[in-house]
Amino acid sequence: MSMILGVPVAVLFGQLLLGLINGAFYALLSLGLAVIFGLLKIINFAHGALYMLGAMATVILFDTLGISYWAALFVAPILVGCVGVAIEYFLLRKIAGQDHIYSLLLTFGVALIIQGVLTNMYGVSGLRYSMPDVFKGGMNLGFMFLPYYRAWVIVIALLVCFGTWFMIEKTKLGAYLRAGTEDSQLMQGFGINVPLLVSLTYGFGVMLAAFAGALAAPIYSVTPVMGSHILIVVFAVVVIGGMGSIAGAIITGVLMGVVEGLTKTFYPPASSAVIFLVMVVVLFVRPSGLFGKEA
């Protein structure tokens, strides 16, 4: 078997593919953050907690109401999106126009409260959620066994990412959004309800996080603390991509998944640090991020 740096090529292919799949998760999450920061200039530290809420909602909806995985993929993001709209309407709106640090602290506090309440209710060991029957098993790709579910994750996550990018950058609704945040007074004058637009944008970013959570429910341990670990990584991804760059967040998300996957193959102990290392290097070379506009 041919080898690269002591690792069989077949193994390397497998790791690359897994990296892409994890990258799809990062892309979904960092996209939500980038939408919220790019359009609203809010540093959303509640993003991890809202991702967790999406996963918890998927499990709880099934346990209590028997709502299936497929339905939960829609219902969980909508429910959590409503929570997001409420956070924006009742809290974030009060500090609009203040320094970024206020939104950061506020959303961080909200995250701690959500996490603490759910920990008291459900503990931290994790909730049980079975893989939907249709995804049980997998296919042998020759170089690895690929569970069907992982294949589904990468397809649906990238579709949602592309759809979001398209909506914001290429449609009239997206143009309103971008214009509304650029010059809200002018847009108000044109008869556009800007505060509503802001609430919906925040809600949409939150829905993306909750959707990632629902996707994660069958394969990761669903616990009230699952979001706190991933949040910092996703922030690093957004910084590398360029704060607020929609396409940058998606591409960097996938890319960092691959970088992390390769690190897990060649030097596992560094795999949780490698993304931050990349961040440091990028900030030195291009302070506005790979895809950010130069200030």
Partner 1 sequence: MAGAAQAEISNDMVKIGYLADMSGTYRDLAGPNGLIALEMAVADFGGQVNGKNIEIVSADDRNSPDVASSTARRWVENDNVDMIAGLVASSVSIAVSDILEESGKLGIVSGSAASSITNEHCTPNHIHYVYDTYPLANGTASAIVKEGGKTWFILTADYAFGHALEADVTRVVEANGGEVIGTIRHPFPTPDFSSFILQAQGSGADVVALANAGADTTNAITTAGEFGLTQSGQTLAALLLFLTDVHALGAEAAQGIQLTTGWYWDMNADARAWSDRFMEETGVRPTMVHAGIYSSTIQYLNAVKATGSDEAQAVRKQMIATPINDMFATNGRIREDGRMVHDMYLAQVKTPAESTNEWDLYNIVRTIPAEEAFRPLSESQCPLVTSK
| Contact status: 264 vs partner 1 (CB under 8 A) | yes
Contacts of 1 (CB under 8 A, 6+ apart): 8, 9, 10
Backbone torsions φ then ψ of 91, nearest 5 degrees: -120, -60
Among 45, 62, 69, 149, binds partner 1 (CB under 8 A): 149
Place of tokens 């920061």: 37
Choice between 119 and 193, CB closer to partner 1: 119
- Restricted to residues 18-37, the positions that interact with partner 1 (CB under 8 A) are 18-19, 21-22
Closest among 225, 285, 273, 207 to 48, alpha carbons compared = 225
Per CB under 8 A, which region of 81-89, 184-192, 242-250, 271-279 contacts partner 1? 271-279
Cα–chain center distance at 151: 18
| Contact status: 132 vs partner 1 (CB under 8 A) | no
How many angstroms separate the CA atoms of 203 and 195, rounded?
12
Among 64, 268, 284, 295, binds partner 1 (CB under 8 A): 268
Is there a contact between 83 and 50 (Cβ–Cβ < 8 Å)? Answer: yes
Q: How far is the CB of 14 from partner 1 (least distance, A)?
A: 5
Pairing of strands 145-147, 138-140: antiparallel
- # residues near partner 1 by CB under 8 A: 41
| Contact status: 153 vs partner 1 (CB under 8 A) | no
DSSP letters spanning 50-102: HHHHHHHHHHHHHHHH---HHHHHHHHHHHHHHHHHHHHHHTGGGGTTS-HHH
Which residues are 7's β-sheet partners? 4
Among 109, 116, 163, 287, binds partner 1 (CB under 8 A): 116
Place of tokens 């200030």: 295
| Contact status: 271 vs partner 1 (CB under 8 A) | yes
Is there a contact between 210 and 121 (Cβ–Cβ < 8 Å)? Answer: no
| Contact status: 147 vs partner 1 (CB under 8 A) | yes
Choice between 47 and 150, CB closer to partner 1: 150
How many angstroms separate the CA atoms of 176 and 46, rounded?
26
| Contact status: 130 vs partner 1 (CB under 8 A) | yes
Among 2, 189, 269, 285, binds partner 1 (CB under 8 A): 269
| Contact status: 231 vs partner 1 (CB under 8 A) | no
Q: Which residues bind partner 1 (CB under 8 A)?
A: 8, 11, 14-15, 18-19, 21-22, 116, 119, 123-128, 130-131, 137-138, 144-145, 147, 149-150, 219-221, 223, 225-226, 229-230, 261, 264-265, 268-269, 271-273
